[in-house]
Structure 1
Amino acid sequence: MKANELFDLTGHVVVVTGAASGIGLATSQVVTANGARVVMIDVDGDRLVGAANSVRPAGAGVDTVVVDVRQGGQVAAAIDDCVAKYGRLDCVFANAGISGGPGFGKLDGALEAASLELWNNCLRINLDGAFHTMQAAAKHMKPRRSGSIVVTSSVAALRASAAPSYGYHAAKAGIAQVVRVAALELGPHNVRVNAIAPGPFKTNIGNGRMHTAEGAALFASTVPLGRLAELDEIKGLALLLASPASSYMTGAIIPVDGGTQA
């Protein structure tokens, strides 16, 4: 079988949350370029419009829906509408997330000073939001006995560090374990559930600190490859997990991290 057959998404319908920027936008670009129709979901409607316009030239169709993933009803309605409109749901990327503030490497991120407001919001978006998305997808994929659910976790789920917040570590570790449990439940229904665990990427998370010289240098110093990842470097794994090429993969938490887990 040739590569273009393994990775062909022609006719597939893919939903991506947090799609207006960063990893969600890169994912939307690559699945569309390989034949999928993508439904891009984000809470930022203005940014979502611009992101969708950048994706449309890649090929297949693009829809946008403004959703706050903290609200399970909004997520379920968006995915129900997608299935009603297109008659199928092949892949969902539960990607929406925030940084949750500084870790204990900064005084205001230390355990005794950590903000409970940031903690709660981080869990609501990064953990609850991903769970709502997985729930809504499973409702349609189980009866059809087909589908791929992909969640954005983090290398912070696999090891601790001083930079990300307590809330971020907790949420990303929690959703990684939810992925494993869901893989056990949904496997007999031929629905695959996997997580991508990115290392430091050049995204807008953390108020854009990855784009500052200080922030980039801090994170690059933890990476054996000595640099932050470009967003294009997530596309190969995202396409793999959305496509038939990963038909025997489930329950995996896969780092894309420049070697930090080594």
Structure 2
Amino acid sequence: MMNAAGLFDIQGQNAIVTGAANGIGRAMAEVLLANGANVTLVDLDRSVLALAQALDGSPGRAQGVVADVADAAQLTEAMARAYGWQGRMDIVCANAGKGAGAGPLNPAGALAAVSPQEWTGIVELNLTSVFNTIQMAASYMRPQKSGRIIVTSSVAGLRGETMVGYAYAATKAATANLVRQAAIELSRDNVLINAIAPGPIRTNIGNGRMHDGTVEEAFAGRVPLGRIGEPEEIKGVTMLLASAASSYITGAVIPIDGGCNACG
């Protein structure tokens, strides 16, 4: 019988995390490294280079790559660098994304206020780059007959949400169903793909508005646990979905939201 250490063993596996400079992506990279995976941290923010250097050897190896994952060529290069490090691709965290401003009850977030440029920019990063990341990950994993893909969706993609923008809610709903769709195909090659659906988490998304006390209080008032979450609270589910502990889980969308989704 395998014990807990064996179930969650990712020692020596090769991983890549997009949007890794801070927030949920950083938490994902930290927990994978702490458990012995070798991780390529990718972000448009150049601070990812210093972060990778600081995390290297803790105990996994870390390398940083500055790339805009919404640019298919840059994403392709980042994935190739990650794969080339060990000649395999075991864990891919498609986490990069951004907020879309105010929700629909705020005049700034109403239908008429959403510009084509804003809509297109959010779709390119939150949806198209996620599809591209999954597609590229699959091209490396399918010949291996193994792999884990973890996509960051959102509770805002599972139900209506008054406090987030149209483009964010729409793209996060799309990523949730993208995961379900991809699971049907990739399961034939033992590549498992799942999504996490965070509720309000204290990150820098939306220009850091989750660090604003008034905004935090508003979000916390909608959470059954009575508070917003911390990025560290993503780590447990990341380990579950990255390891053998999730060997019979694919196509799932797992809320990490303090009970928000239970309220409908």
Sort the TM-score into its range (normalised by shorter chain): over 0.9
Q: Is the 8 A contact 1:103 1:165 kept in 2?
A: yes
Q: Given residue 139 of structure 2, which amino acid in structure 1 is its aligned partner?
A: K
TM-score computed with the length of structure 1 as normaliser: 0.97
- Does the alignment pair 1:44 with 2:45? yes
Structure 1, unaligned runs of 5 or more:
none
Cα shift readout 1:84-107 (whole Å, capped 9, x = no counterpart):
231111010000000011111321
Q: Is the 8 A contact 1:16 1:24 kept in 2?
A: yes
CA RMSD of aligned residues (A): 1.1
Give runs of aligned pairs for residues 1-40 of structure 1, distance below 5 A: 1-40=2-41
Q: Given residue 38 of structure 1, which amino acid in structure 2 is its aligned partner?
A: V
Separation of aligned partners in 2, 1:26 and 1:115: 32
Separation of aligned partners in 2, 1:230 and 1:203: 8
Q: Given residue 221 of structure 2, which amino acid in structure 1 is its aligned partner?
A: S
Q: Given residue 212 of structure 1, which amino acid in structure 2 is its aligned partner?
A: D
Cα distance, 1:206 vs structure 2: 0.8
Q: Is the 8 A contact 2:49 2:65 kept in 1?
A: no
Match of 1:69 in 2: 69
Separation of aligned partners in 1, 2:57 and 2:142: 32
Paired residues, what number? 261
Separation of aligned partners in 1, 2:147 and 2:57: 26
Match of 1:252 in 2: 252
Match of 1:142 in 2: 142
Separation of aligned partners in 1, 2:15 and 2:204: 23
Cα shift readout 1:225-249 (whole Å, capped 9, x = no counterpart):
0000011111000111111111111
Match of 2:201 in 1: 201
Cα shift readout 1:181-237 (whole Å, capped 9, x = no counterpart):
100010011000100000000000011111111110011011000000011111000
Give runs of aligned pairs for residues 76-115 of structure 1, distance below 5 A: 76-115=76-115
Instruction: Report the more deviating stretch, 171-180 or 77-86.
Output: 77-86
Q: Given residue 4 of structure 1, which amino acid in structure 2 is its aligned partner?
A: A
Structure 2, unaligned runs of 5 or more:
none
Q: Given residue 35 of structure 1, which amino acid in structure 2 is its aligned partner?
A: G
Separation of aligned partners in 2, 1:186 and 1:136: 12
Give runs of aligned pairs for residues 176-195 of structure 1, distance below 5 A: 176-195=176-195
SS at match of 1:188: helix
Separation of aligned partners in 2, 1:172 and 1:133: 15
Separation of aligned partners in 1, 2:22 and 2:128: 20
Same amino acid, percent of matched pairs: 48
Q: Is the 8 A contact 2:49 2:63 kept in 1?
A: no
Cα distance, 1:82 vs structure 2: 2.1
Match of 1:222 in 2: 222
SS at match of 1:238: helix
Cα shift readout 1:52-88 (whole Å, capped 9, x = no counterpart):
2442352110011111111112212221232223111
Separation of aligned partners in 1, 2:127 and 2:57: 32
Q: Is the 8 A contact 2:56 2:63 kept in 1?
A: no
Separation of aligned partners in 2, 1:203 and 1:235: 14
Cα distance, 1:29 vs structure 2: 0.3
Q: Given residue 27 of structure 2, which amino acid in structure 1 is its aligned partner?
A: A
Separation of aligned partners in 2, 1:218 and 1:110: 19
Q: Which runs of 4+ in 1 moved over 2 A?
A: 53-58
Cα distance, 1:4 vs structure 2: 1.2
Cα shift readout 1:98-157 (whole Å, capped 9, x = no counterpart):
001111132110111223222111111000111111111000101111001110000011
SS at match of 2:28: helix
Separation of aligned partners in 2, 1:186 and 1:245: 18
SS at match of 2:183: helix
TM-score computed with the length of structure 2 as normaliser: 0.96
